[in-house]
Structure 1
Amino acid sequence: MLRGGKFYPYFEKCVGAIDGTHIRVKVPANDAKRYRSRKQFPTQNILVACSFDLKFTYVLAGWEGSAHDSTVLQDALTREDKLKIPQGRYYLADAGYALSPSFITPFRGVRYHLKEYSNHSPENEKELFNLRHSSLRNAVERSIGVLKKRFPIIASGNEPTYGVVTVTDIFLACCILHNYLMGVDPDNALIAEVDSELMHGEVESATPLMSRNDRYRQGELVRNNIARNMWHDYVANSR
Protein backbone atom coordinates (compact mmCIF):
# COMPACT_ATOMS: atom_id res chain seq x y z
CA MET A 1 0.00 0.00 0.00
CA LEU A 2 1.25 3.47 -0.86
CA ARG A 3 1.79 5.81 2.06
CA GLY A 4 3.12 9.34 2.15
CA GLY A 5 5.11 11.23 -0.45
CA LYS A 6 3.93 12.43 -3.83
CA PHE A 7 1.74 9.39 -4.55
CA TYR A 8 -0.52 9.39 -1.50
CA PRO A 9 -3.42 9.91 -1.16
CA TYR A 10 -3.86 10.29 -4.93
CA PHE A 11 -3.04 6.66 -5.79
CA GLU A 12 -4.12 5.14 -2.48
CA LYS A 13 -6.51 2.71 -4.23
CA CYS A 14 -3.84 1.44 -6.62
CA VAL A 15 -2.81 -2.19 -5.98
CA GLY A 16 0.00 -2.47 -8.52
CA ALA A 17 0.91 -2.33 -12.19
CA ILE A 18 0.44 -4.63 -15.19
CA ASP A 19 2.28 -5.13 -18.45
CA GLY A 20 3.05 -7.71 -21.08
CA THR A 21 6.43 -9.19 -21.88
CA HIS A 22 7.60 -11.43 -24.72
CA ILE A 23 9.67 -14.57 -24.18
CA ARG A 24 11.15 -16.48 -27.13
CA VAL A 25 9.77 -19.95 -27.70
CA LYS A 26 10.46 -22.87 -30.03
CA VAL A 27 7.42 -23.90 -32.06
CA PRO A 28 6.73 -26.10 -35.11
CA ALA A 29 6.98 -24.34 -38.47
CA ASN A 30 3.20 -24.44 -38.99
CA ASP A 31 2.67 -22.54 -35.69
CA ALA A 32 5.40 -19.96 -36.25
CA LYS A 33 3.09 -17.33 -37.77
CA ARG A 34 0.74 -17.37 -34.75
CA TYR A 35 3.61 -17.00 -32.31
CA ARG A 36 5.59 -14.46 -34.29
CA SER A 37 5.57 -11.09 -32.55
CA ARG A 38 6.58 -7.68 -33.86
CA LYS A 39 10.15 -8.80 -33.21
CA GLN A 40 9.80 -11.21 -36.14
CA PHE A 41 10.52 -14.39 -34.20
CA PRO A 42 8.20 -16.71 -32.23
CA THR A 43 7.43 -15.60 -28.68
CA GLN A 44 4.91 -16.00 -25.90
CA ASN A 45 3.06 -12.86 -24.83
CA ILE A 46 2.97 -13.07 -21.05
CA LEU A 47 0.85 -10.82 -18.83
CA VAL A 48 2.27 -9.97 -15.42
CA ALA A 49 0.98 -7.93 -12.50
CA CYS A 50 3.27 -6.76 -9.74
CA SER A 51 3.20 -4.88 -6.47
CA PHE A 52 5.36 -1.86 -5.73
CA ASP A 53 7.92 -3.97 -3.89
CA LEU A 54 8.73 -5.54 -7.29
CA LYS A 55 7.06 -8.89 -6.56
CA PHE A 56 4.80 -10.63 -9.08
CA THR A 57 1.21 -11.03 -7.93
CA TYR A 58 -0.28 -12.57 -11.09
CA VAL A 59 1.18 -14.21 -14.20
CA LEU A 60 -0.62 -15.49 -17.29
CA ALA A 61 1.72 -17.28 -19.69
CA GLY A 62 1.08 -19.26 -22.87
CA TRP A 63 -0.47 -16.76 -25.27
CA GLU A 64 0.93 -16.49 -28.79
CA GLY A 65 3.31 -13.62 -29.47
CA SER A 66 0.92 -12.20 -32.09
CA ALA A 67 -1.85 -11.75 -29.48
CA HIS A 68 -2.59 -8.15 -28.51
CA ASP A 69 -1.98 -7.21 -24.87
CA SER A 70 -5.68 -6.34 -24.43
CA THR A 71 -6.68 -9.82 -25.64
CA VAL A 72 -4.42 -11.46 -23.09
CA LEU A 73 -5.79 -9.18 -20.36
CA GLN A 74 -9.40 -10.05 -21.27
CA ASP A 75 -8.52 -13.72 -20.88
CA ALA A 76 -6.93 -13.00 -17.51
CA LEU A 77 -10.15 -11.34 -16.34
CA THR A 78 -12.50 -14.14 -17.42
CA ARG A 79 -10.63 -17.43 -16.93
CA GLU A 80 -11.08 -19.64 -13.85
CA ASP A 81 -7.76 -18.61 -12.26
CA LYS A 82 -8.41 -14.98 -13.10
CA LEU A 83 -6.74 -11.75 -12.15
CA LYS A 84 -8.76 -10.52 -9.18
CA ILE A 85 -9.15 -6.82 -8.49
CA PRO A 86 -10.71 -5.74 -5.17
CA GLN A 87 -13.82 -3.57 -5.45
CA GLY A 88 -12.88 0.07 -5.92
CA ARG A 89 -9.20 -0.72 -6.55
CA TYR A 90 -7.21 -0.55 -9.77
CA TYR A 91 -3.94 -1.34 -11.53
CA LEU A 92 -1.82 1.10 -13.50
CA ALA A 93 -1.36 0.17 -17.16
CA ASP A 94 0.30 1.72 -20.20
CA ALA A 95 -1.51 3.32 -23.13
CA GLY A 96 -1.72 -0.02 -24.96
CA TYR A 97 -4.58 -1.03 -22.66
CA ALA A 98 -8.10 0.38 -22.49
CA LEU A 99 -8.86 2.92 -19.77
CA SER A 100 -11.38 1.61 -17.23
CA PRO A 101 -12.10 1.89 -13.49
CA SER A 102 -9.89 -1.19 -12.94
CA PHE A 103 -7.00 -0.17 -15.21
CA ILE A 104 -5.89 3.44 -15.16
CA THR A 105 -3.83 4.48 -18.17
CA PRO A 106 -1.93 7.73 -18.89
CA PHE A 107 -3.32 10.69 -20.79
CA ARG A 108 -2.60 10.35 -24.51
CA GLY A 109 -0.76 13.05 -26.43
CA VAL A 110 1.01 14.21 -23.27
CA ARG A 111 4.62 13.67 -22.18
CA TYR A 112 4.88 10.42 -20.29
CA HIS A 113 8.25 8.71 -19.87
CA LEU A 114 10.39 9.75 -16.91
CA LYS A 115 13.31 10.91 -19.05
CA GLU A 116 10.99 13.38 -20.83
CA TYR A 117 10.68 15.28 -17.54
CA SER A 118 14.36 15.23 -16.59
CA ASN A 119 14.89 18.84 -17.75
CA HIS A 120 11.30 20.15 -17.81
CA SER A 121 8.87 20.10 -14.89
CA PRO A 122 5.20 19.25 -15.56
CA GLU A 123 3.25 22.27 -16.80
CA ASN A 124 -0.36 21.14 -16.20
CA GLU A 125 -2.41 18.51 -14.40
CA LYS A 126 -2.19 15.96 -17.22
CA GLU A 127 1.59 16.16 -17.36
CA LEU A 128 1.88 15.86 -13.58
CA PHE A 129 -0.43 12.84 -13.62
CA ASN A 130 1.56 11.18 -16.39
CA LEU A 131 4.85 11.83 -14.62
CA ARG A 132 3.68 10.22 -11.39
CA HIS A 133 1.81 7.45 -13.22
CA SER A 134 5.03 6.63 -15.06
CA SER A 135 7.03 6.69 -11.82
CA LEU A 136 4.67 4.16 -10.24
CA ARG A 137 3.99 1.96 -13.27
CA ASN A 138 7.75 1.73 -13.68
CA ALA A 139 7.59 -0.97 -10.98
CA VAL A 140 6.39 -3.58 -13.46
CA GLU A 141 9.13 -2.74 -15.97
CA ARG A 142 11.68 -2.93 -13.18
CA SER A 143 10.30 -6.28 -12.02
CA ILE A 144 10.50 -7.74 -15.51
CA GLY A 145 13.98 -6.31 -16.04
CA VAL A 146 15.31 -7.78 -12.79
CA LEU A 147 13.65 -11.12 -13.54
CA LYS A 148 15.36 -11.42 -16.92
CA LYS A 149 18.73 -10.43 -15.53
CA ARG A 150 18.46 -12.92 -12.69
CA PHE A 151 17.43 -15.72 -15.06
CA PRO A 152 19.08 -15.37 -18.50
CA ILE A 153 17.21 -18.49 -19.68
CA ILE A 154 14.15 -16.27 -20.24
CA ALA A 155 16.01 -13.28 -21.68
CA SER A 156 14.41 -12.39 -25.02
CA GLY A 157 17.76 -12.28 -26.82
CA ASN A 158 18.46 -15.96 -26.24
CA GLU A 159 17.83 -18.55 -28.96
CA PRO A 160 14.82 -20.63 -27.84
CA THR A 161 15.43 -24.23 -26.83
CA TYR A 162 12.09 -25.24 -25.34
CA GLY A 163 8.47 -25.44 -26.49
CA VAL A 164 5.45 -23.52 -25.22
CA VAL A 165 4.58 -25.73 -22.23
CA THR A 166 8.14 -25.94 -20.97
CA VAL A 167 8.77 -22.21 -21.41
CA THR A 168 5.56 -21.50 -19.48
CA ASP A 169 6.72 -23.71 -16.60
CA ILE A 170 10.20 -22.15 -16.62
CA PHE A 171 8.81 -18.61 -16.57
CA LEU A 172 6.44 -19.36 -13.67
CA ALA A 173 9.26 -21.03 -11.73
CA CYS A 174 11.49 -18.01 -12.29
CA CYS A 175 8.75 -15.68 -11.00
CA ILE A 176 8.36 -17.76 -7.84
CA LEU A 177 12.10 -17.72 -7.24
CA HIS A 178 12.23 -14.00 -7.99
CA ASN A 179 9.56 -13.28 -5.36
CA TYR A 180 11.46 -15.34 -2.80
CA LEU A 181 14.75 -13.61 -3.58
CA MET A 182 13.17 -10.16 -3.40
CA GLY A 183 12.28 -11.04 0.18
CA VAL A 184 15.66 -12.41 1.28
CA ASP A 185 18.21 -10.99 -1.19
CA PRO A 186 16.85 -8.15 -3.38
CA ASP A 187 20.30 -7.50 -4.95
CA ASN A 188 20.21 -3.70 -4.97
CA ALA A 189 23.07 -3.54 -7.47
CA LEU A 190 21.01 -5.51 -9.98
CA ILE A 191 17.97 -3.31 -9.40
CA ALA A 192 20.12 -0.20 -9.87
CA GLU A 193 21.43 -1.62 -13.16
CA VAL A 194 17.89 -2.15 -14.43
CA ASP A 195 16.87 1.35 -13.29
CA SER A 196 19.76 2.85 -15.23
CA GLU A 197 18.81 0.94 -18.38
CA LEU A 198 15.19 2.03 -18.08
CA MET A 199 16.23 5.67 -17.84
CA HIS A 200 18.20 5.25 -21.07
CA GLY A 201 15.44 3.31 -22.82
CA GLU A 202 17.38 0.05 -23.06
CA VAL A 203 14.75 -2.27 -21.47
CA GLU A 204 11.55 -3.40 -23.16
CA SER A 205 8.70 -2.61 -21.92
CA ALA A 206 -8.04 -3.93 -19.75
CA THR A 207 -16.43 -4.88 -15.09
CA PRO A 208 -17.80 -7.36 -17.52
CA LEU A 209 -21.32 -5.91 -16.98
CA MET A 210 -20.34 -2.48 -18.25
CA SER A 211 -20.06 -1.53 -21.91
CA ARG A 212 -16.66 -0.50 -23.19
CA ASN A 213 -17.78 3.14 -23.35
CA ASP A 214 -19.12 3.03 -19.80
CA ARG A 215 -15.87 1.50 -18.55
CA TYR A 216 -13.91 4.22 -20.31
CA ARG A 217 -16.06 7.03 -18.90
CA GLN A 218 -15.81 5.71 -15.35
CA GLY A 219 -12.06 5.23 -15.73
CA GLU A 220 -11.83 8.77 -17.06
CA LEU A 221 -13.62 10.09 -13.97
CA VAL A 222 -11.14 8.31 -11.70
CA ARG A 223 -8.15 9.57 -13.68
CA ASN A 224 -9.40 13.16 -13.97
CA ASN A 225 -10.17 13.32 -10.25
CA ILE A 226 -6.66 12.12 -9.35
CA ALA A 227 -5.04 14.55 -11.79
CA ARG A 228 -7.10 17.51 -10.59
CA ASN A 229 -6.43 16.93 -6.88
CA MET A 230 -2.76 16.25 -7.48
CA TRP A 231 -2.28 19.41 -9.53
CA HIS A 232 -4.13 21.54 -6.96
CA ASP A 233 -1.79 20.40 -4.20
CA TYR A 234 1.28 20.64 -6.46
CA VAL A 235 0.54 24.29 -7.32
CA ALA A 236 -0.27 25.14 -3.68
CA ASN A 237 2.98 23.61 -2.43
CA SER A 238 5.00 25.37 -5.15
CA ARG A 239 4.06 28.84 -3.96
Structure 2
Amino acid sequence: MLVCNNADKYLLVDLGFTNCEGFLAPYKGTRYHLNLWRGNTPTNYMELFNLRHSSARNTIETAFGLLKKHWSIIRDPIFFDKKTQIRIINACFILHNFLREEKMEETNLLQEVEQDFMNIEAIDIEDGEDEYILYARSTSKWDEFRDKLAKKMFNDHIGRRSRIRA
Protein backbone atom coordinates (compact mmCIF):
# COMPACT_ATOMS: atom_id res chain seq x y z
CA MET A 1 0.00 0.00 0.00
CA LEU A 2 1.24 3.50 -0.77
CA VAL A 3 1.59 5.33 2.50
CA CYS A 4 1.39 9.09 2.37
CA ASN A 5 1.65 10.76 5.77
CA ASN A 6 0.90 14.20 4.40
CA ALA A 7 -0.55 15.79 1.31
CA ASP A 8 2.81 17.06 0.04
CA LYS A 9 3.15 14.20 -2.43
CA TYR A 10 0.49 12.73 -4.66
CA LEU A 11 -0.01 11.50 -8.18
CA LEU A 12 -2.34 13.30 -10.57
CA VAL A 13 -4.65 10.62 -11.94
CA ASP A 14 -7.39 10.72 -14.53
CA LEU A 15 -11.13 10.17 -14.21
CA GLY A 16 -10.68 6.40 -14.24
CA PHE A 17 -9.08 6.47 -10.79
CA THR A 18 -10.62 7.10 -7.43
CA ASN A 19 -9.63 10.16 -5.41
CA CYS A 20 -7.77 8.60 -2.49
CA GLU A 21 -4.65 8.98 -0.41
CA GLY A 22 -1.71 9.62 -2.70
CA PHE A 23 -3.89 9.91 -5.83
CA LEU A 24 -5.45 13.26 -6.71
CA ALA A 25 -8.31 12.76 -9.17
CA PRO A 26 -10.48 15.37 -10.91
CA TYR A 27 -14.09 15.89 -9.94
CA LYS A 28 -16.41 13.50 -11.76
CA GLY A 29 -19.43 14.97 -13.52
CA THR A 30 -17.59 18.27 -14.07
CA ARG A 31 -16.02 19.49 -17.32
CA TYR A 32 -12.44 18.16 -17.50
CA HIS A 33 -10.62 17.79 -20.83
CA LEU A 34 -8.90 20.90 -22.22
CA ASN A 35 -10.84 20.88 -25.49
CA LEU A 36 -14.07 21.34 -23.48
CA TRP A 37 -12.73 24.63 -22.09
CA ARG A 38 -12.21 26.51 -25.35
CA GLY A 39 -14.28 29.69 -25.10
CA ASN A 40 -15.39 28.90 -21.54
CA THR A 41 -14.23 30.03 -18.12
CA PRO A 42 -14.60 28.17 -14.83
CA THR A 43 -17.63 29.21 -12.79
CA ASN A 44 -16.88 27.32 -9.56
CA TYR A 45 -14.03 25.71 -7.63
CA MET A 46 -14.60 22.24 -9.13
CA GLU A 47 -14.41 23.52 -12.71
CA LEU A 48 -11.25 25.54 -12.03
CA PHE A 49 -9.66 22.56 -10.27
CA ASN A 50 -10.49 20.27 -13.20
CA LEU A 51 -9.16 22.81 -15.72
CA ARG A 52 -5.84 23.12 -13.89
CA HIS A 53 -5.66 19.37 -13.23
CA SER A 54 -6.21 18.67 -16.93
CA SER A 55 -3.64 21.28 -17.93
CA ALA A 56 -1.03 19.82 -15.56
CA ARG A 57 -1.69 16.26 -16.76
CA ASN A 58 -1.45 17.42 -20.38
CA THR A 59 1.96 19.01 -19.68
CA ILE A 60 3.17 15.85 -17.94
CA GLU A 61 1.96 13.61 -20.77
CA THR A 62 3.69 15.85 -23.33
CA ALA A 63 6.95 15.63 -21.36
CA PHE A 64 6.72 11.84 -21.17
CA GLY A 65 5.95 11.72 -24.89
CA LEU A 66 9.22 13.57 -25.54
CA LEU A 67 11.11 11.17 -23.31
CA LYS A 68 9.61 8.12 -25.00
CA LYS A 69 10.90 9.36 -28.37
CA HIS A 70 14.47 9.36 -27.06
CA TRP A 71 14.71 6.67 -24.40
CA SER A 72 13.53 3.19 -25.30
CA ILE A 73 13.58 2.00 -21.68
CA ILE A 74 10.32 3.87 -21.03
CA ARG A 75 8.54 3.04 -24.28
CA ASP A 76 7.40 -0.33 -22.99
CA PRO A 77 5.98 -1.32 -19.59
CA ILE A 78 8.62 -1.26 -16.85
CA PHE A 79 8.69 -4.18 -14.44
CA PHE A 80 11.25 -2.78 -12.02
CA ASP A 81 10.38 -1.92 -8.43
CA LYS A 82 8.93 1.55 -7.83
CA LYS A 83 12.18 3.10 -6.59
CA THR A 84 14.06 1.93 -9.70
CA GLN A 85 11.26 3.18 -11.98
CA ILE A 86 11.50 6.63 -10.39
CA ARG A 87 15.27 6.63 -10.84
CA ILE A 88 14.98 5.62 -14.50
CA ILE A 89 12.46 8.37 -15.25
CA ASN A 90 14.50 10.98 -13.37
CA ALA A 91 17.64 9.89 -15.23
CA CYS A 92 15.82 10.24 -18.56
CA PHE A 93 14.69 13.78 -17.68
CA ILE A 94 18.20 14.71 -16.51
CA LEU A 95 19.75 13.34 -19.70
CA HIS A 96 17.13 15.10 -21.85
CA ASN A 97 17.80 18.44 -20.14
CA PHE A 98 21.58 17.93 -20.31
CA LEU A 99 21.43 17.23 -24.04
CA ARG A 100 19.34 20.34 -24.63
CA GLU A 101 21.59 22.60 -22.55
CA GLU A 102 24.81 21.26 -24.09
CA LYS A 103 23.29 21.16 -27.59
CA MET A 104 24.67 17.63 -27.82
CA GLU A 105 23.46 14.79 -30.00
CA GLU A 106 22.08 11.75 -28.15
CA THR A 107 24.42 9.34 -29.96
CA ASN A 108 27.53 11.27 -28.84
CA LEU A 109 26.41 11.18 -25.22
CA LEU A 110 25.62 7.47 -25.39
CA GLN A 111 29.07 6.72 -26.81
CA GLU A 112 30.73 8.63 -23.95
CA VAL A 113 28.59 6.86 -21.35
CA GLU A 114 29.31 3.47 -22.88
CA GLN A 115 33.06 4.14 -22.68
CA ASP A 116 32.74 5.18 -19.03
CA PHE A 117 30.78 2.02 -18.19
CA MET A 118 33.51 -0.15 -19.67
CA ASN A 119 35.99 1.37 -17.19
CA ILE A 120 34.05 0.75 -13.95
CA GLU A 121 33.12 -2.31 -11.92
CA ALA A 122 29.47 -3.20 -11.44
CA ILE A 123 28.07 -2.39 -8.00
CA ASP A 124 24.93 -4.07 -6.67
CA ILE A 125 23.31 -2.13 -3.85
CA GLU A 126 20.27 -3.27 -1.88
CA ASP A 127 18.89 -0.38 0.13
CA GLY A 128 15.84 -1.66 1.93
CA GLU A 129 12.26 -2.45 1.20
CA ASP A 130 10.29 -1.02 -1.67
CA GLU A 131 6.78 0.38 -1.35
CA TYR A 132 4.02 -1.33 -3.31
CA ILE A 133 0.49 -0.12 -3.89
CA LEU A 134 -1.86 -2.93 -2.93
CA TYR A 135 -5.17 -1.10 -3.08
CA ALA A 136 -6.72 2.35 -3.38
CA ARG A 137 -9.70 3.28 -1.26
CA SER A 138 -11.55 6.59 -1.36
CA THR A 139 -11.62 8.46 1.93
CA SER A 140 -13.52 11.52 3.09
CA LYS A 141 -10.20 12.92 4.38
CA TRP A 142 -8.72 12.88 0.89
CA ASP A 143 -11.91 14.33 -0.64
CA GLU A 144 -11.72 17.13 1.95
CA PHE A 145 -8.07 17.74 1.00
CA ARG A 146 -9.04 18.07 -2.67
CA ASP A 147 -11.98 20.38 -1.81
CA LYS A 148 -9.78 22.60 0.36
CA LEU A 149 -7.12 22.80 -2.37
CA ALA A 150 -9.72 23.49 -5.08
CA LYS A 151 -11.49 26.19 -3.04
CA LYS A 152 -8.18 27.94 -2.28
CA MET A 153 -7.30 27.87 -5.98
CA PHE A 154 -10.69 29.31 -6.88
CA ASN A 155 -10.55 32.06 -4.22
CA ASP A 156 -7.06 33.05 -5.41
CA HIS A 157 -8.34 33.04 -9.01
CA ILE A 158 -11.32 35.26 -8.15
CA GLY A 159 -9.03 37.59 -6.16
CA ARG A 160 -6.64 38.01 -9.10
CA ARG A 161 -9.50 38.60 -11.54
CA SER A 162 -11.04 41.31 -9.30
CA ARG A 163 -7.65 43.06 -8.92
CA ILE A 164 -7.18 43.05 -12.70
CA ARG A 165 -10.60 44.64 -13.23
CA ALA A 166 -9.95 47.36 -10.64
Q: Shorter chain as normaliser: what TM range?
A: 0.5 to 0.7
Q: 1:177 deviation in Å?
A: 5.0
2:18 aligned with 1:104: no
Query: Please, which of 144, 149, 153 is the counterpart of residue 226 of structure 1?
Result: 149
TM-score, normalized by length of structure 1? 0.42
Amino acid at match of 1:107: Y
The C-alpha deviation readout for 1:104-153, integer Å capped at 9, x for no partner, is: 11000111122222221112211101011122233431232112211468
Report what 1:178 is aligned to: 92
**Which residue in the other structure is 1:87 paired with?**
6
Map of 1:155-234 to 2, 5 A cutoff?
155=75, 168=79, 175=89, 178-186=92-100, 212=137, 215-234=138-157
Q: Which residue identity lines up with residue 184 of structure 1 in the other structure?
A: F
Q: Deviations over 1:15-61 (max 9, x none)?
A: xxxxxxxxxxxxxxxxxxxxxxxxxxxxxxxxxxxxxxxxxxxxxxx
Q: In structure 2, what residue type is equivalent to 1:113?
A: H
Distance in structure 1 (CA, Å) of the matches to 2:56 and 2:5: 19
Percent identity over paired residues: 31
Is 1:150 the counterpart of 2:73? The answer is no
Determine which structure has greater relative contact order: mean sequence separation of CA pairs < 8 Å that are 6+ residues apart, divided by chain length: 2
Contact 2:13 2:24 in 1 (8 A): yes
Please state whether the residue corresponding to 1:96 is helix, strand or coil. Answer: coil
Instruction: Tell me how far 1:237 sits from its aligned partner.
Output: 2.3
**Structure 2 alignment gaps of length 5 or more:** 102-132
Note the residue ranges of structure 1 that are not aligned, 5 or more in a row: 1-73, 78-83, 157-163, 188-207
| Structure 2 equivalent of residue 126 of structure 1 | 46
The answer on whether the counterparts of 2:45 and 2:150 sit within 8 Å (CA) in structure 1 is yes
Q: Distance in 2 between matches of 1:146 and 1:86?
A: 32
Q: How many residues align?
A: 124
- Conserved? CA contact 1:151–1:174, under 8 Å: no
Distance 2:40 2:72 in 1: 36
* Offset from partner CA, 1:73-113 (integer Å, 9 cap, x none): x5xx3xxxxxx746332322212222123211100011112
| Cα deviation, residue 174, structure 1 | 6.8
The Cα of 1:155 is off from its aligned counterpart by: 4.8
Larger Rg: 2
8 Å contact from structure 2 (residues 15, 28) kept in 1:
yes
Matched, 1:235 2:149: no
2:39 maps to a residue whose letter is: N
Residues 104 and 223 of structure 1 are in contact (CA less than 8 Å); yes or no, is this contact kept in structure 2? Answer: yes
Q: Offset of 1:228 from its aligned partner?
A: 1.4
Where is the strand percentage greater, Structure 1 or Structure 2?
Answer: 1
